[in-house]
Chain A
Amino acid sequence: MRLPRDLHPVAWWCWAVGLAVGASCTTNPYLLGLLLAVATITVFACRGDQPWARSFRLYLWLGLVVLVIRVLFRVLVGGNDAGHVLLSMPEIPLPDWAAGISLLGPFSREELLAAIYEGLRLATLLIAVGAANALANPKRLMKSMPPALYEVGTAMVVAITVIPQLADSARRVRAAQQLRGGERGRGHRVRSVRRLLVPILEDAFERSLSLAAGMDARGYGRAGTATAGQRRSTGALMILGLIGICVGVYAFLDSTAPRLLAWPMLALGLVAALAGFVLAGRRVQRTRYRPERWHTTEVLVALSGVVVGAGLWLVQRGEPLVAHPGVLAVPELSLVAVVAILVGIAPVFVAPPPLTARNRAPVAPEPAEEPAKVAA
Chain B
Amino acid sequence: MSAVDQRVAVPLRLRSAVVLGLASLIGLMMLGWPLLLEADPTQRVDPPFLFLGLLPVILAVVLAEISEGGMDARVLAILGVLSAVNAVLRGVSAGTAGLELVFFLLILGGRVFGPGFGFVLGCTSLFASALMTAGVGPWLPFQMLVAGWVGMFAGLLPRRVSGRWEIVMLVAYGVLAAYAYGLLMNLWGWPFILGIQVPGQDSTDLSYAPGAPLLENLHRFVVYTLLTSTGGWDTGRAITNALAIALLGPAVLTTLRRAARRARVERRGAVSSRDVAGPTLP
Residues of chain A whose beta carbon lies under 8 Å from any beta carbon of chain B: 17, 20-21, 24, 52, 55, 58-59, 62, 66, 69-70, 73-74, 76-79, 81, 83, 94, 97-98, 100-102, 110-111, 114-115, 118, 122, 125-126, 129-130, 132-133, 138, 146, 148-152, 154-163, 166-167, 187, 190, 193-194, 197-198, 200-202, 204-205, 207-209, 211-213, 215-216, 220-221, 223-224, 231, 234-235, 238-239, 241-243, 245-246, 249-250, 252-256, 266, 270, 273-274, 276-277, 280-281, 283-284, 324, 326-327
Contact = CB atoms under 8 A, between A and B. Distances in A.
Contacts of B30: 249
Nearest to B72: A221
B131 interface: yes
A197 B26 CA distance: 37
B265 to A, nearest CB: 11
Nearest to B255: A201
B240 interface: no
A79 B204 contact: yes
B195 A115 contact: yes
Given A187-B247, A216-B73, A242-B23, A79 B79 contact: no
A129 B137 contact: yes
A277 B48 contact: no
Contact of B29 (A66, A253, A270, A284): A253
Chain B CB count within 10 A is highest, among A154, A254, A283, for A154
Interface string B214-225: 000001100100
A19 B248 CA distance: 45
Chain A CB count within 10 A is highest, among B85, B120, B123, for B85
Contacts of A94: 223
A242 B26 contact: yes
Nearest to B248: A194
Chain B CB count within 10 A is highest, among A130, A205, A254, A274, for A205
B67 interface: yes
Nearest to B44: A324
A324 B30 CA distance: 25
A208 B81 contact: yes
Chain A CB count within 10 A is highest, among B30, B77, B200, for B77
Chain A CB count within 10 A is highest, among B64, B67, B69, B227, for B64
Contact of A194 (B29, B220, B247): B247
A159 B205 contact: no
B275 to A, nearest CB: 20
Given A102-B205, A243-B22, A149 B193 contact: no
Interface string B176-205: 000000000000000011110000111111
A86 B39 CA distance: 33
B64 A126 contact: no
Contacts of A207: 81
Contact of A70 (B15, B70, B132, B195): B195
B204 to A, nearest CB: 5
Given A55-B134, A150-B67, A280-B64, 8 more contacts: A62-B137, A83-B202, A98-B219, A194-B248, A209-B74, A239-B22, A242-B23, A253-B37
B65 A238 contact: yes
A98 B219 CA distance: 8
A58 B135 CA distance: 9
B137 A126 contact: yes
14 contacts: A102-B205, A129-B137, A132-B136, A155-B79, A158-B84, A159-B128, A160-B84, A162-B80, A167-B88, A202-B258, A208-B259, A239-B22, A274-B61, A326-B201
B87 interface: yes
Contacts of A70: 193-195
Nearest to B216: A100
B259 A163 contact: no
B156 interface: no
Interface in B45-68: 46-51, 53-54, 57-58, 60-61, 63-65, 67-68
A62 B136 CA distance: 12
A262 to B, nearest CB: 11
B137 A212 contact: no
Contacts of A111: 202
Contacts of B192: 122
B278 interface: no
A202 B58 CA distance: 34
Chain A CB count within 10 A is highest, among B65, B72, B73, for B73
B161 to A, nearest CB: 22
A14 B251 CA distance: 45
A187 B246 CA distance: 12
Contacts of B168: none
Nearest to A274: B57
A208 B82 CA distance: 10
A202 to B, nearest CB: 6
Chain B CB count within 10 A is highest, among A98, A213, A254, for A98
A78 B194 CA distance: 10
A125 B138 contact: yes
Given A207-B81, A273-B58, A202 B255 contact: yes
Interface in B228-251: 247-248, 251
B109 to A, nearest CB: 11
A273 B57 contact: yes
